Amino acid sequence: MSDIPASTPQPDSRRPFRLGRAGKLALVGGLLLLMLVPHMMIEAVIEERESYQEQVREGIARSWGPAQSVLGPLLVVPTRAPAQRAAYETGPLRWERGAVAVLPAQLRAEAKLAPERRRRGLFEAVIYEAEVDLTARLAVPVINPEPGTELLWQEAFLVTGASDLRSAAAGARLSMDGRELTSRDVPDAGCVGMDLTRWDLGLEGPPEPGRGLALAGALTLRGTSRFGLLPLARRTELAVAAPWPTPSFTGAGLPVRSDVTASGFTAEWREGTGQPLVRHLGAGWCSQLADDGTQVGVDLLEAVPTYRMVTRASKYAAMFLALAFLTYVLFELMAGVRIHLVQYGLLGLSVVLFPLLLLAFGEPLGFAVAYVISTAAVVGQASAYTAAVTRRAGLAGLFAGVLGGLFGFLYIVLSLEAYALLAGSVALFAALSVVMAVTRRVDWSET
């Protein structure tokens, strides 16, 4: 036998943090900041796909019809006045054209929308057909033009309009006191973003002051996403109904009555603008009227706007990365496992890919289904990797529970738009409290 004593195995004095706990935490923090680079690249992809969606909507709007704003019937009396000229000018007298617009005292519009989704590839837009009934009461007032200005009552006409009248040209109609009027275009109204229809009155001279006109008409329109009415009247009423469960009421005033159900909505506005009924306008009278009237109406929103939800989800990536890294740090501190910085990085990439998966699956399948698939993929991948890194099934199960709980909480936060800030703040406070409780006995000065 040998006299040399057998060497006694020495305990492994290596600690989980070779650089010391503070140094390892600094490296993990730096890696967390580095992970924001691929996150920003993914956010750029989300913005690019959202811009493609907007381009598709604009293309569908150009071929089908844009967001519609309806102009109710009003009376237009053309005017002319001699143009000013220098003393040396000779020749025939030149005339400057203008118009006097008389707004109705009462205007009511009833619109029935038939919306549907129209797809191009993976992108879609909400389009609709609208049947609009218009009624108005207009009293012809005494019009006092400026000195030298002549009222051309023989050319007086009624006018109706909308943002795009391509689909309404054949079906538009208007009657005055029960008499059907003949329509034609208004080529010289100086209007941008509004198509007008002219209804000639055939007057031989100025009508009797105070004469009331009962007007009734209808339009058939095609539009995209939004419908509205310009409230150019002393008192305006608008009633809209559509089988669409997610409307957003917009404009100068909210509806006085609305009913929104899973099968559709009805809404009614009553606007008393108190604006003057007689407007003295220049040659571009249409644009002056359209700019002066703030419309009321409705936007037909998506039930779950995929791109907006994906964008909101991606904004929580930094928080998810921090909590995932923090869980790994706690595993090192409390369970004594050793995790390399590269393994932190691979875990971070798995979490960062979540918004990209959500976007890729959300375009063809919708947000809810995409969220389930993306969550299952990331939680499954990250948990399996954690099991391989730590070689402890319990820690892998705990990590899967933490990450799955985070994704479940995020879905709830995304669904609670009004209380998202409150819920997120409370959750962060609770997470910080848990970390403080778990690490209360850790000696952070130990190296």
Per-residue pLDDT band at 420 (split at 50, 70, 90): confident
What average pLDDT does this structure show over 237-252?
91
| Cα distances (Å, whole numbers) of residue 447 to 21, 332, 336, 345, 438 | 6, 14, 14, 23, 19
Please state which of the ranges 116-130, 225-239, 408-422 shows the lowest mean pLDDT.
408-422
What average pLDDT does this structure show over 301-328?
87
pLDDT digits (tens, 9 = 90+) for 316-363: 888 889 889 989 988 888 888 888 999 999 999 999 999 999 999 998
Q: 179-180 and 257-261 as β-strands: parallel, antiparallel, unpaired?
A: unpaired
Which of the residue ranges 18-22, 147-151, 329-333 has the most confident prediction, judged by mean pLDDT?
329-333
Residue whose structure tokens are 């020749």: 91
What backbone torsions phi and psi does residue 274 show, to the nearest 5 degrees?
Answer: 65, 20
Per-residue pLDDT band at 239 (split at 50, 70, 90): very high
Report the length, in residues, of the chain. 447
Cβ–Cβ under 8 Å, residues 361 and 370: yes
Distance (Å, whole) CA 267 – CA 242:
9
Per-residue pLDDT for 276 more than 90?
no
Which residues, including other chains, have CB under 8 Å from residue 230's CB and lie 6 or more apart? Answer: 69, 70, 71, 72, 289, 290, 293, 294, 295
Mean pLDDT of the chain: 84
Cβ–Cβ under 8 Å, residues 214 and 179: no
What average pLDDT does this structure show over 288-293?
64
- Tokens in use for 103? 């707004």
Closest CA to 71 of 209, 211, 207, 189: 189
Please state which of the ranges 16-20, 197-201, 397-401, 421-425 shows the lowest mean pLDDT.
16-20
Distance (Å, whole) CA 37 – CA 41:
6
Cβ–Cβ under 8 Å, residues 248 and 121: no
In this prediction, residue 376 carries a pLDDT of 95
Please state which of the ranges 164-178, 228-242, 279-293 shows the lowest mean pLDDT.
279-293
In this prediction, residue 13 carries a pLDDT of 47
In this prediction, residue 4 carries a pLDDT of 52
Please state which of the ranges 141-150, 281-290, 420-429 shows the lowest mean pLDDT.
281-290
What average pLDDT does this structure show over 109-138?
91
Can you count the helices (H) and strands (E) in the chain? Answer: 9, 18
The amino acid present at 64, given as its one-letter code, is W
In this prediction, residue 210 carries a pLDDT of 80
What average pLDDT does this structure show over 405-434?
83
- Provide, rounded to the nearest whole percent, the portion of the chain with pLDDT above 90: 34
| DSSP assignment string, 398-420 | HHHHHHHHHHHHHHHHHH-STTH
Q: 278-281 and 68-82 as β-strands: parallel, antiparallel, unpaired?
A: unpaired
Q: Give the Cβ contact number of residue 358 at 10 Å.
A: 24
Rg of the chain in Å (alpha carbons) = 34
Distance (Å, whole) CA 52 – CA 44:
12
In this prediction, residue 147 carries a pLDDT of 80
Residue whose structure tokens are 């590269």: 342
- Provide, rounded to the nearest whole percent, the portion of the chain with pLDDT above 70: 89
In this prediction, residue 1 carries a pLDDT of 45
The beta strand positions in 91-181, using DSSP E, are 95-102, 106-120, 123-139, 150-151, 157-162, 173-176, 179-180
Please state which of the ranges 4-13, 174-183, 260-269 shows the lowest mean pLDDT.
4-13
Q: Look at 413 and 247; give whichever has higher pLDDT.
A: 247
Strand order in the sheet with 212-224: 179-180, 173-176, 212-224, 123-139, 106-120, 235-242, 264-271, 257-261
Largest CA distance in the chain: 138
In this prediction, residue 356 carries a pLDDT of 93
φ/ψ region of 56 (left if φ > 0, alpha if ψ in -120 to 50, else beta) reads alpha
Per-residue pLDDT for 84 more than 90?
no
In this prediction, residue 127 carries a pLDDT of 92
What average pLDDT does this structure show over 237-251?
92
The amino acid present at 233, given as its one-letter code, is A
Instruction: Provide the whole-model pTM.
Output: 0.76
Q: State whether residue 113 is helix, strand or coil.
A: strand
In this prediction, residue 291 carries a pLDDT of 65
In this prediction, residue 241 carries a pLDDT of 96
Q: State whether residue 291 is helix, strand or coil.
A: helix
Distance (Å, whole) CA 227 – CA 300:
8
Degrees, nearest 5: CA angle 259-264-268: 40
Distance (Å, whole) CA 415 – CA 230:
34
pLDDT digits (tens, 9 = 90+) for 26-59: 898 899 999 999 999 999 999 999 888 888 888 8
